[in-house]
Amino acid sequence: MMKVIKTIKEMQRIADKLREEGKKIAVVPTMGYLHEGHTSLMKIAREHSDFVITTLFVNPTQFAPHEDFTTYPRNFDRDFRIAEEHGCDILFNPEVDEMYPHGFATSIKINNVTEKFEGEKRPGHFDGVATVVCKLFTATKAHFGVFGQKDVQQTIVIKKLVDDLNLDIKIIVAPTLRQSDGLAMSSRNVYLSVKDRTRSSILYSALTKAKDAIEKGEKRRKIINAIMHAELRTIHSIKLDYAMSADVETLDEPEEYLPGQHIVMMIACFLGKTRLIDNMLATIPSGISEHPEKFEEM
Protein backbone atom coordinates (compact mmCIF):
# COMPACT_ATOMS: atom_id res chain seq x y z
CA MET A 1 0.00 0.00 0.00
CA MET A 2 1.41 3.37 -1.03
CA LYS A 3 1.85 5.88 1.80
CA VAL A 4 1.08 9.60 1.58
CA ILE A 5 3.63 11.75 3.39
CA LYS A 6 2.81 15.39 4.08
CA THR A 7 5.81 16.69 6.03
CA ILE A 8 9.46 17.13 5.10
CA LYS A 9 10.64 15.81 8.50
CA GLU A 10 8.71 12.56 8.11
CA MET A 11 9.90 12.20 4.52
CA GLN A 12 13.52 12.69 5.59
CA ARG A 13 13.15 10.22 8.47
CA ILE A 14 11.90 7.52 6.08
CA ALA A 15 14.63 8.34 3.54
CA ASP A 16 17.34 8.10 6.23
CA LYS A 17 16.04 4.67 7.27
CA LEU A 18 15.97 3.45 3.66
CA ARG A 19 19.51 4.69 3.11
CA GLU A 20 20.69 2.93 6.31
CA GLU A 21 19.20 -0.28 4.92
CA GLY A 22 21.21 0.26 1.72
CA LYS A 23 18.12 0.90 -0.41
CA LYS A 24 18.31 3.04 -3.54
CA ILE A 25 15.67 5.78 -3.72
CA ALA A 26 14.32 7.36 -6.89
CA VAL A 27 12.14 10.46 -6.99
CA VAL A 28 9.70 11.51 -9.70
CA PRO A 29 8.81 15.18 -9.13
CA THR A 30 5.37 16.09 -10.50
CA MET A 31 2.67 18.69 -10.18
CA GLY A 32 0.04 15.99 -10.43
CA TYR A 33 -2.81 15.39 -12.84
CA LEU A 34 -0.80 12.35 -13.76
CA HIS A 35 -0.79 10.90 -17.26
CA GLU A 36 1.12 8.20 -19.12
CA GLY A 37 4.12 10.51 -19.46
CA HIS A 38 4.42 10.52 -15.66
CA THR A 39 3.80 6.81 -15.31
CA SER A 40 6.60 6.12 -17.80
CA LEU A 41 8.88 8.14 -15.46
CA MET A 42 7.71 6.01 -12.52
CA LYS A 43 8.57 2.86 -14.46
CA ILE A 44 12.08 4.15 -15.20
CA ALA A 45 12.43 5.19 -11.55
CA ARG A 46 11.52 1.66 -10.49
CA GLU A 47 14.11 0.16 -12.86
CA HIS A 48 16.85 2.21 -11.18
CA SER A 49 15.86 1.87 -7.54
CA ASP A 50 14.34 -0.14 -4.70
CA PHE A 51 12.00 2.61 -3.57
CA VAL A 52 10.02 5.10 -5.69
CA ILE A 53 8.77 8.41 -4.33
CA THR A 54 6.47 10.47 -6.52
CA THR A 55 6.08 14.03 -5.38
CA LEU A 56 2.80 15.83 -5.92
CA PHE A 57 3.10 19.56 -5.38
CA VAL A 58 1.76 22.36 -7.56
CA ASN A 59 4.55 24.81 -6.92
CA PRO A 60 3.23 28.38 -6.74
CA THR A 61 6.65 30.01 -7.13
CA GLN A 62 7.14 28.79 -10.69
CA PHE A 63 3.94 30.43 -11.94
CA ALA A 64 3.80 34.14 -12.79
CA PRO A 65 0.78 36.02 -11.36
CA HIS A 66 -1.02 35.93 -14.74
CA GLU A 67 -0.35 32.20 -15.26
CA ASP A 68 -2.56 29.21 -14.46
CA PHE A 69 -1.56 28.34 -10.86
CA THR A 70 -5.10 28.50 -9.49
CA THR A 71 -6.68 26.70 -12.43
CA TYR A 72 -3.89 24.14 -12.91
CA PRO A 73 -5.73 20.78 -13.10
CA ARG A 74 -5.78 18.96 -9.76
CA ASN A 75 -7.31 15.65 -8.73
CA PHE A 76 -5.72 14.09 -5.66
CA ASP A 77 -7.78 10.87 -5.62
CA ARG A 78 -7.04 10.15 -9.25
CA ASP A 79 -3.32 10.91 -8.79
CA PHE A 80 -3.20 8.70 -5.69
CA ARG A 81 -4.75 5.79 -7.57
CA ILE A 82 -2.46 6.17 -10.60
CA ALA A 83 0.70 6.46 -8.51
CA GLU A 84 -0.27 3.44 -6.42
CA GLU A 85 -1.18 1.37 -9.49
CA HIS A 86 2.22 2.16 -10.93
CA GLY A 87 4.08 0.81 -7.95
CA CYS A 88 5.07 4.01 -6.16
CA ASP A 89 5.97 3.46 -2.52
CA ILE A 90 5.34 7.00 -1.32
CA LEU A 91 3.37 9.95 -2.59
CA PHE A 92 5.05 13.00 -1.07
CA ASN A 93 2.32 15.64 -1.03
CA PRO A 94 3.27 18.64 1.10
CA GLU A 95 1.06 21.72 1.48
CA VAL A 96 2.37 25.10 0.33
CA ASP A 97 3.01 26.17 3.98
CA GLU A 98 5.12 23.09 4.54
CA MET A 99 7.39 23.87 1.58
CA TYR A 100 7.39 27.64 2.09
CA PRO A 101 6.78 28.35 5.78
CA HIS A 102 6.40 31.90 7.03
CA GLY A 103 9.75 33.67 6.61
CA PHE A 104 11.01 31.46 3.79
CA ALA A 105 13.61 33.63 2.04
CA THR A 106 15.70 31.52 -0.33
CA SER A 107 15.63 31.40 -4.09
CA ILE A 108 18.06 29.58 -6.33
CA LYS A 109 18.96 31.53 -9.43
CA ILE A 110 20.83 29.77 -12.21
CA ASN A 111 22.31 32.00 -14.89
CA ASN A 112 22.86 31.52 -18.65
CA VAL A 113 20.79 28.41 -19.44
CA THR A 114 17.74 30.05 -17.85
CA GLU A 115 17.98 33.28 -19.79
CA LYS A 116 16.31 32.44 -23.08
CA PHE A 117 13.39 30.45 -24.49
CA GLU A 118 11.18 29.48 -21.53
CA GLY A 119 13.22 31.65 -19.18
CA GLU A 120 12.71 34.72 -21.33
CA LYS A 121 8.99 34.09 -21.83
CA ARG A 122 8.39 33.15 -18.20
CA PRO A 123 10.64 35.39 -16.07
CA GLY A 124 11.38 33.86 -12.67
CA HIS A 125 9.97 30.47 -13.68
CA PHE A 126 13.27 28.61 -13.43
CA ASP A 127 14.15 30.22 -10.07
CA GLY A 128 10.92 28.68 -8.78
CA VAL A 129 11.68 25.32 -10.40
CA ALA A 130 15.30 25.17 -9.19
CA THR A 131 14.34 26.10 -5.63
CA VAL A 132 11.48 23.63 -5.33
CA VAL A 133 13.39 20.80 -7.02
CA CYS A 134 16.31 21.36 -4.66
CA LYS A 135 13.90 21.15 -1.71
CA LEU A 136 12.28 18.00 -3.14
CA PHE A 137 15.73 16.43 -3.45
CA THR A 138 16.71 17.29 0.13
CA ALA A 139 13.33 16.13 1.44
CA THR A 140 13.42 12.76 -0.33
CA LYS A 141 17.22 12.20 -0.18
CA ALA A 142 16.87 10.35 -3.46
CA HIS A 143 19.77 8.77 -5.35
CA PHE A 144 18.00 9.31 -8.69
CA GLY A 145 15.71 12.03 -9.98
CA VAL A 146 13.64 11.22 -13.06
CA PHE A 147 12.42 14.02 -15.34
CA GLY A 148 10.72 14.12 -18.73
CA GLN A 149 12.47 15.28 -21.88
CA LYS A 150 9.35 17.28 -22.75
CA ASP A 151 10.53 20.07 -20.46
CA VAL A 152 13.97 20.03 -22.03
CA GLN A 153 15.17 23.38 -20.71
CA GLN A 154 14.03 22.33 -17.22
CA THR A 155 16.21 19.21 -17.47
CA ILE A 156 19.21 21.35 -18.52
CA VAL A 157 18.59 23.73 -15.61
CA ILE A 158 18.24 20.87 -13.11
CA LYS A 159 21.44 19.21 -14.30
CA LYS A 160 23.23 22.55 -13.85
CA LEU A 161 21.72 22.87 -10.35
CA VAL A 162 23.00 19.41 -9.44
CA ASP A 163 26.48 20.06 -10.88
CA ASP A 164 26.95 23.54 -9.49
CA LEU A 165 25.70 22.75 -5.98
CA ASN A 166 27.30 19.27 -5.91
CA LEU A 167 23.99 17.65 -5.08
CA ASP A 168 24.39 13.93 -4.52
CA ILE A 169 21.77 12.75 -7.01
CA LYS A 170 21.85 11.40 -10.56
CA ILE A 171 19.42 12.93 -13.05
CA ILE A 172 17.72 10.61 -15.52
CA VAL A 173 15.92 12.16 -18.49
CA ALA A 174 13.14 10.04 -19.94
CA PRO A 175 11.79 10.28 -23.51
CA THR A 176 8.61 12.24 -24.26
CA LEU A 177 5.46 10.16 -24.59
CA ARG A 178 3.14 11.18 -27.42
CA GLN A 179 -0.45 10.66 -28.50
CA SER A 180 -0.91 8.80 -31.80
CA ASP A 181 -0.93 12.09 -33.78
CA GLY A 182 2.32 13.21 -32.15
CA LEU A 183 1.00 15.59 -29.46
CA ALA A 184 3.31 15.37 -26.46
CA MET A 185 1.49 14.23 -23.33
CA SER A 186 0.95 17.03 -20.83
CA SER A 187 -1.40 17.76 -17.95
CA ARG A 188 -2.34 20.99 -19.72
CA ASN A 189 -3.70 19.14 -22.80
CA VAL A 190 -7.04 18.85 -20.98
CA TYR A 191 -7.54 22.58 -21.55
CA LEU A 192 -7.57 22.21 -25.36
CA SER A 193 -10.87 22.64 -27.21
CA VAL A 194 -11.76 19.89 -29.67
CA LYS A 195 -10.63 22.06 -32.62
CA ASP A 196 -7.37 23.06 -30.97
CA ARG A 197 -6.71 19.46 -29.97
CA THR A 198 -6.82 18.57 -33.71
CA ARG A 199 -4.55 21.50 -34.58
CA SER A 200 -2.09 20.69 -31.80
CA SER A 201 -0.29 17.96 -33.79
CA ILE A 202 1.28 20.84 -35.77
CA LEU A 203 4.03 21.12 -33.13
CA TYR A 204 5.11 17.56 -33.78
CA SER A 205 4.98 17.96 -37.55
CA ALA A 206 7.03 21.19 -37.39
CA LEU A 207 9.67 19.48 -35.26
CA THR A 208 9.68 16.43 -37.52
CA LYS A 209 10.12 18.56 -40.66
CA ALA A 210 13.06 20.38 -39.12
CA LYS A 211 14.61 17.09 -38.03
CA ASP A 212 14.16 15.62 -41.53
CA ALA A 213 15.96 18.64 -43.00
CA ILE A 214 18.82 18.20 -40.52
CA GLU A 215 19.10 14.55 -41.41
CA LYS A 216 19.34 15.55 -45.08
CA GLY A 217 22.23 17.87 -44.24
CA GLU A 218 20.76 21.22 -43.18
CA LYS A 219 22.90 22.80 -40.44
CA ARG A 220 22.11 26.52 -40.75
CA ARG A 221 20.26 27.47 -37.60
CA LYS A 222 18.10 30.13 -39.22
CA ILE A 223 16.90 27.72 -41.91
CA ILE A 224 16.13 25.01 -39.36
CA ASN A 225 14.10 27.54 -37.36
CA ALA A 226 12.39 28.84 -40.53
CA ILE A 227 11.24 25.32 -41.42
CA MET A 228 9.44 25.09 -38.07
CA HIS A 229 7.98 28.60 -38.45
CA ALA A 230 6.66 27.83 -41.96
CA GLU A 231 4.87 24.70 -40.77
CA LEU A 232 3.43 26.40 -37.65
CA ARG A 233 2.16 29.34 -39.70
CA THR A 234 -0.19 26.98 -41.57
CA ILE A 235 -2.41 27.18 -38.45
CA HIS A 236 -3.58 30.78 -38.45
CA SER A 237 -4.89 30.84 -34.90
CA ILE A 238 -1.58 29.78 -33.38
CA LYS A 239 0.21 32.35 -31.23
CA LEU A 240 3.87 31.53 -31.29
CA ASP A 241 6.14 32.24 -28.32
CA TYR A 242 9.18 30.74 -30.05
CA ALA A 243 10.31 28.03 -32.44
CA MET A 244 14.07 27.83 -32.09
CA SER A 245 16.98 25.45 -32.08
CA ALA A 246 20.11 25.43 -29.95
CA ASP A 247 22.94 23.28 -28.64
CA VAL A 248 21.36 20.72 -26.34
CA GLU A 249 23.72 21.32 -23.41
CA THR A 250 24.64 24.98 -23.52
CA LEU A 251 21.63 26.33 -25.47
CA ASP A 252 24.12 28.29 -27.57
CA GLU A 253 22.80 29.40 -30.96
CA PRO A 254 25.60 29.44 -33.57
CA GLU A 255 24.90 30.54 -37.15
CA GLU A 256 25.72 27.04 -38.30
CA TYR A 257 25.84 23.85 -36.29
CA LEU A 258 28.90 21.63 -36.43
CA PRO A 259 28.93 18.06 -37.72
CA GLY A 260 28.22 15.72 -34.81
CA GLN A 261 26.72 18.51 -32.68
CA HIS A 262 23.69 17.51 -30.59
CA ILE A 263 20.96 20.08 -30.88
CA VAL A 264 17.42 20.55 -29.66
CA MET A 265 14.53 22.14 -31.53
CA MET A 266 11.99 23.76 -29.22
CA ILE A 267 8.52 25.18 -29.72
CA ALA A 268 6.26 27.09 -27.35
CA CYS A 269 2.93 28.45 -28.52
CA PHE A 270 -0.63 29.14 -27.55
CA LEU A 271 -3.59 27.39 -29.08
CA GLY A 272 -6.56 29.29 -27.70
CA LYS A 273 -5.64 29.94 -24.08
CA THR A 274 -3.56 26.77 -23.77
CA ARG A 275 0.21 27.08 -23.81
CA LEU A 276 1.92 24.07 -25.35
CA ILE A 277 5.63 23.28 -25.41
CA ASP A 278 7.46 20.51 -27.21
CA ASN A 279 10.94 19.69 -28.45
CA MET A 280 12.93 17.18 -30.42
CA LEU A 281 16.59 16.22 -30.38
CA ALA A 282 18.73 15.87 -33.47
CA THR A 283 22.39 15.30 -34.27
CA ILE A 284 24.00 17.17 -37.13
CA PRO A 285 25.29 14.47 -39.47
CA SER A 286 28.95 14.40 -40.43
CA GLY A 287 30.25 14.44 -44.00
CA ILE A 288 27.34 15.93 -45.96
CA SER A 289 27.75 18.65 -48.59
CA GLU A 290 27.56 22.33 -47.53
CA HIS A 291 24.07 23.73 -48.27
CA PRO A 292 21.47 21.29 -49.54
CA GLU A 293 19.40 22.84 -52.33
CA LYS A 294 16.11 21.58 -51.01
CA PHE A 295 16.00 23.99 -48.06
CA GLU A 296 16.75 27.38 -49.57
CA GLU A 297 16.44 30.52 -47.43
CA MET A 298 12.77 31.13 -46.56
**Could you list the active site residues?**
38
Q: Considering the complex, state which of residue 152 and residue 235 has its C-beta at the smaller distance from ligand PAF.
A: 152
Task: Supply the minimum distance, in Å, between the C-beta of residue 39 and ligand PAF.
Answer: 14
Pairing of strands 25-30, 144-148: parallel
Q: Are 3 and 54 in contact (CB under 8 A)?
A: no
> Binders of ligand PAF among 111-170, rule CB under 6 A?
129, 132-133, 151, 154
Piece of 23-31, 106-114, 169-177, 263-271 that binds ligand PAF (CB under 6 A): 23-31
Spatial CA neighbour of 267 closest among 165, 151, 172: 151
Task: Supply the minimum distance, in Å, between the C-beta of residue 151 and ligand PAF.
Answer: 5
Task: Supply the minimum distance, in Å, between the C-beta of residue 235 and ligand PAF.
Answer: 26
Q: Considering the complex, state which of residue 137 and residue 204 has its C-beta at the smaller distance from ligand PAF.
A: 137
Pairing of strands 51-56, 90-92: parallel
Task: Supply the minimum distance, in Å, between the C-beta of residue 236 and ligand PAF.
Answer: 30
Counting every residue written for the chain, the total comes to 298
Task: Supply the minimum distance, in Å, between the C-beta of residue 12 and ligand PAF.
Answer: 19
Q: Considering the complex, state which of residue 94 and residue 217 has its C-beta at the smaller distance from ligand PAF.
A: 94
Q: Considering the complex, state which of residue 39 and residue 225 has its C-beta at the smaller distance from ligand PAF.
A: 39
Question: In whole angstroms, how far apart are CA 199 and each of 211, 226, 276?
Answer: 20, 19, 12
Sheet strand arrangement including 274-283: 239-247, 262-271, 274-283
The helix (H) or strand (E) run that includes residue 172 is strand 170-174
Q: Residue 81: count other Cβ atoms within 10 Å of its Cβ.
A: 13
Q: Residue 108: count other Cβ atoms within 10 Å of its Cβ.
A: 18
Q: How far apart are CA 264 and CA 285, in angstroms?
A: 14
Piece of 9-17, 29-37, 70-78, 206-214 that binds ligand PAF (CB under 6 A): 29-37
Chosen residue from 62, 140, 149, 186 binding ligand PAF by CB under 6 A: 62
Instruction: Kindly state whether residue 59 participates in binding ligand PAF, applying the rule CB under 6 A.
Output: yes
Q: Crossing angle of helices 125-140/8-20, nearest 10°? A: 50
Q: Considering the complex, state which of residue 150 and residue 219 has its C-beta at the smaller distance from ligand PAF.
A: 150
Spatial CA neighbour of 208 closest among 239, 173, 184: 184
Q: Are 62 and 105 in contact (CB under 8 A)?
A: no
Piece of 25-33, 111-119, 209-217, 251-259 that binds ligand PAF (CB under 6 A): 25-33
Burial of 124 (0-12, 13-18, 19+ CB in 10 A): middle
Task: Supply the minimum distance, in Å, between the C-beta of residue 38 and ligand PAF.
Answer: 9
Piece of 10-18, 24-32, 224-232, 254-262 that binds ligand PAF (CB under 6 A): 24-32
Count residues binding ligand PAF (CB under 6 A). 10
Q: Considering the complex, state which of residue 59 and residue 225 has its C-beta at the smaller distance from ligand PAF.
A: 59
Instruction: Kindly state whether residue 29 participates in binding ligand PAF, applying the rule CB under 6 A.
Output: yes
Instruction: Kindly state whether residue 27 participates in binding ligand PAF, applying the rule CB under 6 A.
Output: no
Q: Which positions lie near ligand PAF, rule CB under 6 A? A: 29-31, 59, 62, 129, 132-133, 151, 154
